[in-house]
Amino acid sequence: MKKITISDLMKWKKAGHKFPTSTAYDASFAQIFENEEMPVLLVGDSLGMVLQGHSDTLPVTLEDIAYHTRCVRAGSPNCLLMADMPFMTLNTPEKACENAAVLMRAGANMVKIEGGRWLVDTVKMLTERAVPVCAHMGLTPQSVNIFGGYKIQGKEDEKAEEILSDALALQGAGAQALVLECIPAELAKRITKALDIPVIGIGAGSDTDGQILVMHDMLGISANYMPKFSKNFLAETGDIKSAVAKYMDDVKNGLFPDEKHTIA
């Protein structure tokens, strides 16, 4: 697989080519993804739930993410590798820069940050200092205690407009990609069309530029529950490599997510 950069994602968005993305946490699975030419991988703080057994992502530390970033980079030298900035590592722009540097040194090509317009100054400072940023809006798991659970975001008109406005503000501050999680498909479509940067959806319908799934959900091995927007590709194909290939093909061909895996 050739080395993937943010420029490739921009080209695919302009050309209307949908691209698949997955979480990864270790070298072995990262190598499987590399062999199947998965272009983008994310070391997500979802590891707190699927690897560590917590009920949310809040206990995950910067050191946890850095460790798993090194593991994934060892297994996939050519993917565009994003790494999550964990809970409370963004409390000031200066602290965000220090923490992001740890992840970039561990092998990340880009950091992913959860939040809206309040992160504008942070995004500016990071990108001015050569740290590419992927924003994450909609259902942001680190805000689970504010939301009162894992709930769909953007259903009300006012909230939908706020998410769109914040997405534009973060793009203007320098964000080079955006993840939209658990928002109505029509809102995700509006945001994807409004932004020049690639938009990656999870539980956000089929009109985003790319899709991402937690690896354990894709393979049907999550310990807790299967989200409505996910699909067990392993059950459909029978082996891991075929499951990864099927997921990638279905995303590229616009077959996943379908209506059954879409939030109205």
Give residue limits of the domains in the chain.
6-261
Cβ distance 100 to 123 under 8 Å? Answer: no
Residue 223: per-residue pLDDT? 64
Q: What are phi and psi of 135, to 5 degrees?
A: -80, 160
User: What are all long-range contacts of 84-87, with beta carbons under 8 Å and residues at least 24 apart?
Assistant: 84/42, 84/43, 84/44, 84/45, 84/46, 84/60, 84/111, 84/112, 85/111, 85/112, 85/113, 85/114, 86/45, 86/57, 86/60, 86/61, 86/62, 86/142, 87/45, 87/57, 87/58, 87/60, 87/142
Which of 112-121, 149-158, 215-224 has the weakest average pLDDT?
215-224
Q: What's the whole-number average pLDDT of the chain?
A: 96
Mean pLDDT across 53-60: 95
Give the mean pLDDT of 140-167: 93
Q: How many CA atoms lie within 13 A of 218 on its CB side?
A: 27
**Which tens digit of pLDDT belongs to each residue from 106-147?**
999 999 999 999 999 999 999 999 999 999 999 999 999 888
Other Cβ atoms less than 10 A from the Cβ of 102: the count is 18
Q: What is the mean pLDDT of residues 11-20?
A: 98
| CATH topology (fold) of 6-261 | TIM Barrel (3.20.20)
| pLDDT for residue 264 is more than 70 | no
Which of the residues are catalytic? 181
